[in-house]
Structure 1
Amino acid sequence: MSESHSDFRTIGVLGFGVMGAGIAQVFAASGREVVVLDTDQDRIDAGIAAVAAFLDGGVVRGKITEDDKATILGRITGTTSLAVLSGVDAVLESVTENAEVKKALLAQVATVVGEQTPLLTNTSALSVTDLAAGLPNPSRVAGLHFFNPAPVMQTVEVVRALQTDETLVDRLVDLVHALGEKFPVVVKDRPGFLVNSLLLPYLNDVIQEFDDGLATAEDIDVALELGLGYKTGPLKMLDTIGLDVHLRATEAAYEATADARYAPPPLLRQMVTAGRLGNKNGHGFRTEQPTDGSN
């Protein structure tokens, strides 16, 4: 359990869903105090329970102790009040992948935090430059993109918007290094940034190949895991990410670029419409496999 602070000692996290909970855990495990804002107490309770469940796995595997678990949970506070964020050193939003929702929330938060307080976004595909444009002092806005599951995945993209102050970029690189077993990659503000600009077309191609009946979901995953040495097959990965999350990300990249590689495959839209979202609800490519390439 890391105990390095850098100059960000208290972090506000906006959203206590899967990503928000994982990010809150990462910050708390590094010795920081974390204040998580969400819309109601039920969502806060669910977020705390998700962090506790993840930490329980670490206890079972001998990675952390029960005392470590209690300490990490003790550093995370949930709130439904914007005013509680007034004293944080930085804010990181991790809410739904919708530009208007993110802009509105960041604008609200900007009214209660200091004028120099960094406003960060965990968006996976939206333009950070666009999110920053309507905010006071946009030079304090940047992307800090964690991957799911945040406590496990080591890469963190530090996204430099056109307005971002270079000093903030340097501070965020130092912050990521201080989180323990995380590696910062500084990237330009482009659709999908670095990782997703390559990953989104790959996942779309795999979905289309499955829909075309090239092979079963299990065989596609095994072929790519063993044939290319990947740790996780693409369809299993999609179930973990959430098909709805992938759909929003690839739609955003397609809207920004009109690049056919990002166009969502028809099956992806159909599965999301049918409520087949992956591991989050037990219905996806591998969590409940169709008998053929159709849905």
Structure 2
Amino acid sequence: MSEIQRVAVLGLGTMGAGIAQVAAMSGHQVTVLEASQDRIDAGLAALTDFLDGGVVRDKITRSQRDETLSRVHAVTDVAELAGSDLVIEAVTERADVKRELLARVADVVAEDALIVTNTSALSVTDLASGVPHPGRFAGLHFFNPAPLMKVVEVVRALQTDEAVVERLVTFVDSVGKKPVVVKDRPGFLVNYLLMPYLNDVITEYDGDLANAEDIDTAMRLGLGYKLGPLELLDLIGLDVHNHATHSAYEATLDPRFAPPPLLRQMVAAGYHGNKNGHGFRTTQEEA
């Protein structure tokens, strides 16, 4: 099979923009699909701001910033993805939305084009079943923020051809990330281990084991983590963690994945963490 050169990204939200940046910075031509011009404008503005921040911090040069933006082309017509070698889906975590979009994309790209999902919570095997030639389908799970996080999980669905896994590992290497090949199970590898840990922290915080700042300080300094667990939850998004852990619980019936009552209450109250300024390390401690 040929080398991956032309990459398509479905969605220009936080994850889609980050993945597009990673691919474009490594020299790939990237076509991003969004539902409207307004969403394109917002996504490109966020991508530009992120790159500008890198220039200010001397992480990238002005030339690298300009070259990266020149390689990203945003469209609203799925037909413009026809020449893509690799399609990376990064839209909302709803199986029906993903299936419908993936089916439309599969109709326009070549039969040997690779199609992957960046889902963190849904079954890759289930999504593959709705795509013609499912052997070319897999998971490619980037972590947020994609430009900064080094690991990418290459998720092998039951249908995925081994040659496809090998091509994806090569692609991940080519964009400067570390590939880790994992099975398709709820949470894959990182989140499978992470979600019960975060749920336990929420439960102990709700039980007044310690305040939020002390919990984070203890875990950062005691275990060498860059972020404390409650800081991490605010960064991930409480709504995102609630959805992911609930999906894992439904798939496994493992009580370790059941969303804690406080998490459900906070999400119901509109507390989503850093994205809206209400989370464990903001509203909860200021109240």
In the alignment, the residues of structure 2 paired with residue 261 and residue 156 of structure 1 have an alpha-carbon distance, to the nearest angstrom, of 24
Report the CA distance between 1:164 and its aligned residue: 0.3
In the alignment, the residues of structure 1 paired with residue 253 and residue 62 of structure 2 have an alpha-carbon distance, to the nearest angstrom, of 50
2:51 aligns with: 55
SS of 1:275's partner is: coil
Matched, 1:215 2:215: no
Structure 1, gaps ≥5 residues long: 1-5
SS of 2:12's partner is: coil
**Taking structure 2 as the reference length, what is the TM-score of the superposition?**
0.96
2:118 aligns with: 122
Q: CA RMSD in A?
A: 1.3
Give the counterpart letter for 2:243 in structure 1.
Answer: R
2:87 aligns with: 91
SS of 2:284's partner is: coil
2:38 is aligned, of 23, 33, 42, to 42
2:250 aligns with: 255
2:159 is aligned, of 163, 173, 177, to 163
Structure 2, gaps ≥5 residues long: none
Report the CA distance between 1:123 and its aligned residue: 0.8
Give the counterpart letter for 2:154 in structure 1.
Answer: V
1:69 aligns with: 65
2:16 aligns with: 20
Report the CA distance between 1:266 and its aligned residue: 1.3
Of the structure 1 ranges 200-209 and 211-220, higher mean CA displacement relative to structure 2 is found in: 211-220
1:228 is aligned, of 223, 238, 247, to 223
2:29 aligns with: 33
* Length, aligned pairs only: 286
Give the counterpart letter for 1:19 in structure 2.
Answer: M
Report the CA distance between 1:287 and its aligned residue: 3.5
1:3 aligns with: none
SS of 1:111's partner is: helix
In the alignment, the residues of structure 2 paired with residue 259 and residue 50 of structure 1 have an alpha-carbon distance, to the nearest angstrom, of 38
**Taking structure 1 as the reference length, what is the TM-score of the superposition?**
0.94
In the alignment, the residues of structure 1 paired with residue 18 and residue 179 of structure 2 have an alpha-carbon distance, to the nearest angstrom, of 17
In the alignment, the residues of structure 2 paired with residue 272 and residue 146 of structure 1 have an alpha-carbon distance, to the nearest angstrom, of 24
Report the CA distance between 1:41 and its aligned residue: 1.4
Report the CA distance between 1:269 and its aligned residue: 1.4
In the alignment, the residues of structure 2 paired with residue 73 and residue 242 of structure 1 have an alpha-carbon distance, to the nearest angstrom, of 27
Query: Per-residue CA shift, 1:199-252, capped at 9, x if unaligned?
Result: 011111111112222222111111100011101111111111111111111111
Matched, 1:197 2:209: no
Percent sequence identity over matched residues?
Answer: 66
Report the CA distance between 1:111 and its aligned residue: 1.2
Report the CA distance between 1:71 and its aligned residue: 0.9
